[in-house]
Amino acid sequence: MEIIEKAPAKINLGIDALYQREDGYYELEMVMASVDLSDHITVFDFSEPKIKLKTNLSFLPLDSKNLVYKAAKLLMKRFTISTGVSIEIDKRIPVAAGLAGGSSDCAATLRALNKLWKLNLTLEELAEIGAEIGSDVPYCIYGNTAFVSGRGEIVEKITNIKPFWTVLVKPPKNMPTLSVFQALKLDDISHPDIHALRKAINEQNFKQMFKNMGNVLESVTIERIPEIQKIKNTMLSLGAKAALMSGSGPTVFGICENQVQAKRVFNGIKGFNSEVYLVRLLTRKE
C-alpha cells in the first residue's frame, strides 16, 4: 500500500515573543499561513520491522536526526507497530529557510502513517504527538492559516485569508533558529501587535493586515544577514504590499494583491537571487 501526502511550506505573517518560559522556550504568538510550495512524502509498507528513508537531497540525514524518522519511530513504538515502513521525501522547500520544511515533512509523515497503519487518530491527536517532536509540527498538522501560541502547540484556525500571490526569496546564508532566540533581547525591540493582525484577517481588512504584519526575530537575523533588509526594500519598491522575514529566516516573502503585481516583484528580484519562488497562500477551500 502507498500513501502520498503533501507537506506545504509555511510563512509567518506575524511573530511575537512575549517572555522566556521556565522550560527554556519562548512564549510565542504567531499568525502562520501555508503556501503552495510543497514537499511530498510517500510511505510504503515494508516487511522488515525497521524504518527506511530515501530522499532526493544527498545531504539530508536518513536517521534519527531527521524529523520524519522521529515521527515514524514514535508512532511505531506508541502503537506497537510490528511491520516496517519505507518513506520517500521529495524535497522542494528550501532547507534551513524559516519555512518549516522539516516540520511540515514530519506532520505529513504522521498523517500518512495514520492512514497506512489505520490508527484512526484525529488531527488533534496527531498534533499532540507532533508537539513531542518539534514546535512547528502541531501547526503543520493542520496547515492553512492559524493563530499559534504557547511554544507552538496551541493552534486556532483562521478562515478568512485570501489566496494572495506571494514571492519567496531565500538568501544563500542560513541562520540557525536556536542562535536567533539566544540573541533575542525582548526589552530592546519593537513588538508587533499579533492580535490586531488576527483581527484584521478575521474582518478581511487586508489594509490593516499588511500594516500589522511584523516579526520580532528580524532584528537579530538582519543584523547578521543585512541582505534580508535589502530584499525587503526591493520587494516594497517593486509593489509588494508587505514584505517580511519568515520564522527565524533567512527567507523573505512579499505579499501582493494580484498576479500581475506578484510577477513584477518576481521578475524584478530573480536577477540577483538564485532561489526565488512565485506562490499563493493556501485557503481552507483548497
10 is catalytic: yes
Give the CA angle between residues 103, 221, 167 to the nearest 5°. 65
What single-letter DSSP state applies at residue 132? Answer: T
Neighbours of 77 (CB within 10 A): 9
Of 191, 196, 195, the closest CA to residue 219 belongs to 191
How far apart are alpha carbons 215 and 238 in whole angstroms? 21
Cα–Cα distance for residue pair 53/38, rounded to 1 Å: 18
Q: Which of 164, 175, 281 is nearest to 227 (CA)?
A: 175
| Residues 119, 79 contacting (CB under 8 angstroms) | yes
Burial class of 124 by CB neighbour count within 10 A (0 to 12, 13 to 18, 19+): exposed
Of residues 263, 250, 256, 245, the one with CA closest to residue 281: 256
**Of 136, 170, 232, 241, which residue is the catalytic one?**
136
Which among 10, 70, 170, 232 is annotated as catalytic?
10
Instruction: Say how many CA atoms lie within 13 Å of 27 toward its Cβ.
Output: 5
By annotation, the residues acting in catalysis are: 10, 136
